[in-house]
Structure 1
Amino acid sequence: MDNLILLLLIVGIICVLLSFFFGRSSQRHAEDIENISISLHQETNQLKKRLKAVEEEMMIGGVTHVTPGIGPKTKTSSKPVHEIIVNQILSLHSQGYSIADISKRSSLTTEEVVEVLRMRGVR
């Protein structure tokens, strides 16, 4: 019986010592995972910023218009209208918005909105 108690005591001490070694390695793994998570979050934020910059550049860039029966044509005005804005204008017009409302929503003058609609053969 004394041998059994002594054996259990030795096994218990060994288990406690082993837990110190394995506990620290799992703590290192947790720290590594946390560092990777932070790094991934930072990279995602950087990609979002780059994507936003590219989208803004596209909004500023030139526009090509397609006039029915004529083909692609580059608009040469003082303020080129980007294709995304053109699509927004066409969508708003098809939904029944007035030229003044479309002008406010697209940040263009009413003349520019009318010109875009005319270039697309809508008006």
Structure 2
Amino acid sequence: MELSSILMIIGIIVIIASFFIKDHSTQIEGDVEELSLNFYQETHQLKRRLKVIEEELLLEPKLIGKPKKTASPVIAPTKGIRIHQIIVSQVQTLHKQGYTIPEISKRSSLSIEQVQEVLQSGGSRV
């Protein structure tokens, strides 16, 4: 026999054998495709959940309504400067504790005149 006929017989045998041997790359391709589909589905579910949460957060202020207006600032009568009710309460508390007006001025970041005006007005709204 010639060398070419031997090679031809070996080639035919290899081709026939390839039909019977399982292809592992096909199985790996299937596994990768299944994983990618699972990943896509999970991502889609997470996006839906996130969208629902965002909608709930956007709707929540409408359900609660407008925030109630707390104490409005006090306006010093002579200068028209607004002093918040918290600072007014702080000035009154410090005065009740026996602090002097200059000490209260330093602690509350108000001028001496503003402290005097707050104490004279008694914290009422002007």
Shorter chain as normaliser: what TM range?
A: 0.3 to 0.5
Tell me the TM-score normalised to structure 2 length: 0.41
The structure with more radius of gyration: 2
